[in-house]
Structure formats: structure tokens, C-alpha cells
A = this chain, B = another copy of it.
């Protein structure tokens, strides 16, 4: 394993060429089949919504039995490129970073279920959104700011509706993640933050909490409009830290609220 041809230990895919993309030697391994199909999807040879070639067809193409092909399809599904819903014939999924990350999310959730892991996740989120807000102060377009304002209004209109408020809350932070126009940030946000938010425990006295929370949103937008980076970061940090602290506090005082 040299440095220039980095064969990272134990990835699902094993050999890379100088471009970093899997070489397509048609060896009949499951990983190879998966990566070849993946290439076809990303290259547009297979279009989202299409059906994959039938398994028997792939058997013939790779010269292996159906078990191998089937394994390859499982891997492909894990990569978020195959849509195996409800017994229907698998179809090509839209290749999206968010979908890809979803697979990682399934595996990563275990790291975030205890308080320590949750705190790490919260910190990562704080760092991510801090970067977003700093960027937004400098570069957010009026349309993007308007989208955030829209979410704030939606929050205000649903202060007493837990589900709807959360929806709007997520929408606000999602709009923030969209500002740089970088799909990586959106994917990270959807994969980790959105799920985290939607799964958060319910606060007692949620009306008051929601009011305070949305005041935080307003402060953030105001600071962005005023192009005041420090104020924006400060408001965001307060907004996020407060939620995390109330969670920890609730855990300490053992006030379990039924979900």
C-alpha cells in the first residue's frame, strides 16, 4: 500500500486508478458488480426510475451465479443507488449525496445515542451552522434570506403545534444550509441535523420554548441582514446551545416527557 495509490484499508471497493475511481476489471466479485452498476448510474447510462438489468441478465454479463449478483445489488442499495421498496422490481434511484449519506446514517446512529455522542453531534452541528451563518452574512442573496424569513413566519404561525413548528424549524435551518449552494452541506444537514431535530424529545412548556426558539431565528436573520457577523454567530450559538443544555438538564432532573 503506497501513498500515491491509496488503498485505504477495508473499503468495500478495493482498487483505484489514478483518478480515484474504481477500475472496471470485470472480475465477478459482488463489489465489482456494484461499482460497475454505480458507474452506469452516475454516467447516466442508467437513468433514475429505470429498472436495472434483470439479475439473470447480470449473471450472464459477469459470468457468475445469482447469489453474487444479488450481493452486488445489496451493496448498491447500501450506496443509495437502488430503490428496493415494497417488493416491486428495484429501480435506479436518483444519485444524491443525501441518499448516499442516509446509508451512513443508519450505521452512525449508534454513535450518537448516548449523551456523549449526542454532545459531539451537537458540537459538529454548531460548527457547521456557524460556518453557514458566517457565509450567509457575506453572501446570502435576498431570495435566500426571504426563504429564511418565510420559515420564521411559519414558525410564528405554529407556536402551539409541536409537529408543525418542528417542520418549520427544520425548514429554517435547512434554508441556512442551502445558502452556499454546496450539496455537501445540504446532505450533511439532512442526514444528521434534520433527523436529530425531528427526533428531539418534547420539551415541557413547548409554547414558551418555541417562542424563545423563534426569537433566536429572528435574531439570526436580523444579524444577517445587518451584515453583522459577530452578532449572527452569537445569536446562532445561543440558539443552539440553549436547546442542547435544556436537553442535558432535563436528562439530569429525570423529567421524562412521554413522546
Chain A residues touching B, range: 35 or more
A75 interfacial by beta-carbon distance below 8 Å: yes
Which residues of B sit under 8 angstroms from A209, Cβ to Cβ?
none
A178 close to chain B: CB less than 8 A:
no
In the assembled complex, A140 has its CB within 8 A of some CB on chain B: no
Q: Which of A90-148 contact B (CB under 8 A)?
A: 93, 95, 97, 99-111, 113, 120-121, 123-124, 127-128, 130-131, 135
Interface residues of A: mostly helix, strand, loop or mixed? helix
Contact A102 B67 (CB under 8 A): no
Instruction: Please give, as numbers and ranges, the residues of chain B lying within 8 Å of A13 by CB-CB distance.
Output: 106
Alpha-carbon separation in the docked complex, A59 to B157 (Å):
53
Name the residue of chain B whose CB is nearest to the CB of A181: B120
- Check B12–A184 contact: CB distance below 8 A: no
Q: In the complex the two chains form, is A198's CB within 8 Å of B120's CB?
A: no
Contact segment of A45-53, A79-87, A211-219, A240-248: A79-87
Listed residue (A67, A75, A83, A185) with the most chain B CB atoms within 10 angstroms of its CB: A75
Q: Does A54 contact B (CB under 8 A)?
A: no
Q: Decide: A127 and B120 in contact? CB cutoff 8 A.
A: no
Does B102 contact A107, Cβ atoms closer than 8 Å?
Answer: no
Question: How far in angstroms is the closest Cβ of chain B from A64?
Answer: 15
Give the number of times this chain occurs in the complex, counting copies.
2
Q: Does A151 contact B (CB under 8 A)?
A: no
B residues near A89, Cβ cutoff 8 Å:
none
Select A106's contact among B3, B11, B83, beta carbons within 8 Å. B11
Is A163 in the interface zone, CB < 8 Å from B? yes
A173 at the interface (CB under 8 A from B): no
Complex CA gap A127/B135 in Å reads 9
A75–B19 alpha-carbon span in the complex (Å): 27
Nearest opposing residue in chain B for A82, CB measure: B10
Of B38, B102, B198, which is within 8 A of A110 by CB?
Answer: B38
Question: Contact between A110 and B18 (Cβ–Cβ < 8 Å)?
Answer: no
Interface residues of A in 50-79 (CB under 8 A from B): 67, 70-71, 74-75, 77-79
Among all A-B residue pairs, the 7 with the closest Cβ atoms: A79-B107, A104-B104, A78-B78, A127-B131, A3-B163, A42-B110, A6-B198
Given contacts A2-B163, A127-B131, 8 further A-B contacts (CB under 8 A): A3-B198, A4-B162, A11-B102, A12-B106, A20-B199, A79-B107, A81-B107, A131-B131
